[in-house]
Every structure is written in C-alpha cells, then in structure tokens.
C-alpha cells in the first residue's frame, strides 16, 4: 500500500511540474482564460454539488470572463 501511495505522489508531482511548464509560452490573456476556466469549474462544481453540467458550465463561464478581463489592454 505504501508503494502505491509513493507512486501516486510522484505521478502527481510530475504532472504538476509539466503542467506549469506548459504555461510559459502563453500570453497574459491565455493565462487569464485558463485560470478563469479552472476557477469557474471549481465554483460550478461546488454550487451544483459536483454535477458534470455545473462543472462544465462553470468552466465555460469562467473561461469567457477570464478571456475578457484584459481585453482593453490588448488594444493599446
């Protein structure tokens, strides 16, 4: 059982490191979109008791809001 926990922890750490490395080439607007989608997904899941529709809906709404946050800065 201890071996499975160690492997799981190592896989989680590797996924986290690789995931953070993938964001290095993103623009500020892309990062805001991804963060908004993540926060929206968590919020949607919490508000709907973990339903799939609530999670996906929250991710969509959060992604759109995150995408629009710095829209005026991109025009300048």
pLDDT in tens, the chain (76 residues): 678 777 888 787 877 777 767 777 888 888 888 888 888 888 988 898 888 899 899 999 999 999 998 777 656 5
Domain boundaries, the chain: 2-75
pTM (2 d.p.):
0.64
What pLDDT score was predicted for residue 10?
Answer: 79
Residues 56 and 19: their CA atoms lie apart, in Å, by: 20
Helices within the chain (DSSP H only): 2-21, 28-47, 52-68, 71-75
Kind plus residue range of the DSSP H or E element containing 48: none
What are residue 26's phi and psi, to 5 degrees?
-80, 150
What pLDDT score was predicted for residue 61?
Answer: 94
């Amino acid at each position: 059982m201890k071996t499975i926990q160690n492997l799981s922890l190592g896989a989680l750490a590797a996924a986290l490191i690789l995931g953070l490395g993938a964001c290095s080439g993103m623009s500020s607007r892309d990062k805001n979109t991804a963060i908004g989608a993540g926060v929206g997904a968590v919020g949607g899941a919490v508000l709907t008791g973990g339903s799939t529709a609530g999670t996906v809906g929250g991710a969509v709404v959060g992604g759109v809001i995150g995408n629009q946050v710095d829209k005026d800065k991109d025009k300048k």
